[in-house]
């Protein structure tokens, strides 16, 4: 049964991979309609988050961006089918890499690179594409409780060279990866409370943000490079490396600078950020 399910999943993935873009967009829009408009799953969270970030927008503008965001999430889900079929021959057909010189200069320092990023565009595909191009990529991620889901979710990307490190107690593994001059990805746009989070603001409202990126950079000496991905009008994915961030200063101040950088990325492409997260929970120190 497991083998039959695997063959069925691969066949479905292949059909979606070779299908015209309009078919994938149609399926994504249908999934978004079910989620956002019919069943309204977390619709209130999405709209409340958008209101927090853009309080001057009208309700119609918030609904429009929320709906477009869900369509992008739906397309992200559909395009996970690309993973088994991406390779060195076709990766440049689906991706545009901008600012790679920023990334390459940081790697030449020989201390590894910490990538400051967020859930914008299709970061999972972008990570896989960079691995296919020969960059050693390590992603910090929470593991699922179900083994079969872990095998499916992480296995597809591990086959193209992306290595995963569980978020819990990850410091030693990440330091080893940086010593091997790998690129370590730590998304920083989700709420994290104490004791591993610090008090920050995002879009001017107080929240908690993980301090791990600032702490890891201080301990390892690895440079921090900001990067984000976004879907272009022609359907390709852009992966843009922006700059090497300043690392000096108190953990709270450095982490706030990281937040400000990510905020700017969301402002550029608000319809492609994952507004589903409850980013602005109360930061309560016990």
SS (H, E, C) 133-165: CCCCEEEEECCCCCHHHHHHHHHHHHCCCEEEE
**Looking at the structure, do residues 136 and 255 belong to the same domain, yes or no?**
yes
**Looking at the structure, do residues 93 and 204 belong to the same domain, yes or no?**
yes
Count of other CB atoms within 10 angstroms of residue 122: 26
**Looking at the structure, do residues 76 and 215 belong to the same domain, yes or no?**
no
**Looking at the structure, do residues 17 and 80 belong to the same domain, yes or no?**
yes
Count of domains observed in the chain: 2
Closest CA to 51 of 42, 63, 40: 63
Greatest C-alpha distance within the chain: 55
Q: Does residue 114 fall inside a structural domain?
A: yes
| Domain that residue 37 falls in | 1-85
Q: Does residue 67 fall inside a structural domain?
A: yes
pLDDT at 247: 87
In degrees, rounded to 5, the angle at the alpha carbon of residue 195 between the alpha carbons of residues 142 and 222 is 65
Instruction: Indicate the residue among 85, 101, 117 that finishes a domain.
Output: 85
**Looking at the structure, do residues 7 and 101 belong to the same domain, yes or no?**
no
**Looking at the structure, do residues 235 and 96 belong to the same domain, yes or no?**
yes
pLDDT at 170: 86
Q: Does residue 280 fall inside a structural domain?
A: no
Q: Does residue 281 fall inside a structural domain?
A: no
**Looking at the structure, do residues 78 and 201 belong to the same domain, yes or no?**
no
**Looking at the structure, do residues 65 and 185 belong to the same domain, yes or no?**
no
Q: Does residue 1 fall inside a structural domain?
A: yes
Q: Does residue 151 fall inside a structural domain?
A: yes
**Looking at the structure, do residues 13 and 100 belong to the same domain, yes or no?**
no
pLDDT at 5: 54
193-200: long-range contacts (C-beta < 8 A, 24 or more apart)?
193/281, 193/283, 193/284, 194/283, 194/284, 194/285, 194/286, 197/283, 198/251, 198/252, 198/255, 199/252, 199/283, 200/252, 200/255, 200/256, 200/259
**Looking at the structure, do residues 59 and 11 belong to the same domain, yes or no?**
yes
**Looking at the structure, do residues 111 and 192 belong to the same domain, yes or no?**
yes
pLDDT tens for the 286 residues of the chain, in order: 556 656 766 788 889 999 999 999 999 999 999 999 999 999 999 999 999 999 999 999 999 999 999 999 999 999 998 998 999 999 999 999 999 999 999 999 999 999 999 999 999 999 999 999 999 999 988 777 777 667 776 777 788 899 998 877 789 999 999 999 999 999 999 999 999 999 999 999 999 999 999 999 999 999 999 999 999 999 999 999 999 999 889 999 999 999 999 999 999 999 999 999 999 999 998 7
**Looking at the structure, do residues 129 and 13 belong to the same domain, yes or no?**
no
- CB–CB of 63/47 below 8 Å? yes
Q: Which residue has the tokens 């063959």?
A: 7
Instruction: Indicate the residue among 66, 85, 104 that finishes a domain.
Output: 85
pLDDT at 141: 83
Count of other CB atoms within 10 angstroms of residue 107: 19
Q: Does residue 283 fall inside a structural domain?
A: no
């Amino acid at each position: 049964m497991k083998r039959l399910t695997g063959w069925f999943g691969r066949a479905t993935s292949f059909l979606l991979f070779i299908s015209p873009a309009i078919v994938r967009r149609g399926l994504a829009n249908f999934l978004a309609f079910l989620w956002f408009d019919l069943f309204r799953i977390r619709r209130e969270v999405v709209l409340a988050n958008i209101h927090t970030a853009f309080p001057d927008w009208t309700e119609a503008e918030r609904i429009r961006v929320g709906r477009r965001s869900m369509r992008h999430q739906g397309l992200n889900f559909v395009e996970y089918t690309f993973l088994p079929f991406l390779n060195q021959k076709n990766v440049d057909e689906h991706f545009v890499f901008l600012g790679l010189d920023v990334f390459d200069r940081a790697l030449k320092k020989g201390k590894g690179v910490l990538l400051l990023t967020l859930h914008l565009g299709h970061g999972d595909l972008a990570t896989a594409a960079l691995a296919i191009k020969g960059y050693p990529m390590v992603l910090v991620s929470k593991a699922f409780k179900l083994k079969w889901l872990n095998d499916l979710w992480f296995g597809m990307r591990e086959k193209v060279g992306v290595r995963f490190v569980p978020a819990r107690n990850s410091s030693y593994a990440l330091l080893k990866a940086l010593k091997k001059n790998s690129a370590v990805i730590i998304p920083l746009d989700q709420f994290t409370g104490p004791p591993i989070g610090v008090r920050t603001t995002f879009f001017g409202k107080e929240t908690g943000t993980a301090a791990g990126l600032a702490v890891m950079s201080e301990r390892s000496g690895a440079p921090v490079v900001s990067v984000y991905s976004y879907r272009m009008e022609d359907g390709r994915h852009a992966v843009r490396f922006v700059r090497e961030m300043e690392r000096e200063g108190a953990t709270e101040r450095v982490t706030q600078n990281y937040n400000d950088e990510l905020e700017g990325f969301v402002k550029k492409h608000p319809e492609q950020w994952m507004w589903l997260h409850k980013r602005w929970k109360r930061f309560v120190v016990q």
